[in-house]
Amino acid sequence: MKPTVYDIATTAGVSLATVDRVLNRRPGVSARTREKVDAAIASLGFVRDMAAANLAKGRIYPLVFILPSNDNSFMRLIETEVRSAMQRSALERTDIRILDVPAFDTAALVEALDGVVLERPAGVALVAVDAPEVVAAVDRLTDAGTPVVTLVSDLPASRRVHYAGIDNIAAGRTAASLLGRFAGEKDGPIAVLAGSMLVRDHRERLEGFRQVMTESYPHLRLLDVIEGRDDPATVERLLLELFQEHGDVRGIYSLGAGNRGLIKALRQTMFGRRPSVIAHELTETTRLGLAEGLVDAVLNQDAGHEVRSAIRVLKAEADGSHVLAAQERIRIDIFLKDNLP
């Protein structure tokens, strides 16, 4: 039989009214008493059915997703998942809207964050640019009573409540382990293609990548990072210039987007030996690259899982309830040509 509030009151030695105050985060309870009630809740394994309680109240959760508006296939997958969640709004009692901002634009992101303060939504999820101004804007929103979740790229210096994304340092290390094996023992340069070093996920992937390449594959020399701003045309141009200068490139790590430009550049260039290529996110473009043999492996994160995780966490924050850490952990998937879903 599931424990009840009566069991909590008996175990903690307090009144039902006190248990109700603790569960609903109302004032009038001393820190000592609150600790006793929390300990009783933990020992009994009590889980409050906030969904049923809020359904009875008819509660709706207004949520805002702030997403970059560039031509990034994975960001468009994120947007698609958010729109799918919008279609489930009646069932999940959410009212979701999307704010588009230019990618890597600190000022535009700060303006968007400050613009939703007065709306007082139940929560905000955003793809963060790691800049002090954005940290301050997130903290202002938090101070106004709106919890914030970061998506894909984290902002740990802020008071955000949760990060929904993969461990990007681990992703970079994984990419290096794969690329080092694929590239072989012959000396040569390795190209690294990023969107922008303004976003933390790209910097962390590069950090993890460098760690393993230095430790395990010192014969492979990393070239200066190419920042393609996640724009396919820019990526194609910069890579073609790179290939003219370095015809002996042994491998390419594409840690951001712009992979349509990567594929086009690879198709146009004649190599004595095609460079090994590791990319991120299983999109139509990277899937085609795997199928054509232009890409060796793709590291992927589940966009749907990230969006659902952000919604669950923001609703839980609004309710004052807990989330299951294991449920919110985003794993790194590795796809080769042979195991495509």
Give the integer Cα–Cα distance in Å for 301 and 279: 12
Domain co-membership, 146 together with 248: no
Collapsing DSSP states into helix, strand and coil, what is residue 123? strand
215 lies in a domain? yes
φ, ψ (nearest 5 deg) of residue 30: -70, 160
Count the domains in the chain.
3
Residue ending a domain, choose from 16, 31, 48 = 48
What is the predicted pLDDT for the residue at 40? 87
Domain co-membership, 295 together with 310: no
- Residues facing residue 220 across a β-bridge: 188
Model-level pTM? 0.80
265 lies in a domain? yes
278 lies in a domain? yes
Domain co-membership, 180 together with 289: yes
Domain co-membership, 176 together with 264: yes
Q: Which pLDDT tens digit goes with each residue over 171-221?
A: 999 999 999 999 999 999 999 999 999 999 999 999 999 999 999 999 999
337 lies in a domain? no
Do residues 179 and 236 make contact, with C-beta atoms less than 8 angstroms apart?
no
What is the predicted pLDDT for the residue at 86? 95
Domain co-membership, 138 together with 68: yes
Name the stretches of the chain with pLDDT < 50.
Answer: 51-52, 55-56
Do residues 227 and 195 make contact, with C-beta atoms less than 8 angstroms apart?
yes
Domain co-membership, 96 together with 183: no
43 lies in a domain? yes
Domain co-membership, 177 together with 86: no
Domain co-membership, 38 together with 84: no
Q: How many CA atoms lie within 13 A of 292 on its CB side?
A: 14
What CATH code is carried by the domain that includes residue 212? 3.40.50.2300
264 lies in a domain? yes
Q: Which pLDDT tens digit goes with each residue over 242-267?
A: 999 988 999 999 999 899 999 999 99
339 lies in a domain? no
Place of tokens 């990060």: 163
Residue-range definition of the domain harbouring residue 31: 5-48
What is the predicted pLDDT for the residue at 224? 96
84 lies in a domain? yes
Domain co-membership, 256 together with 320: no
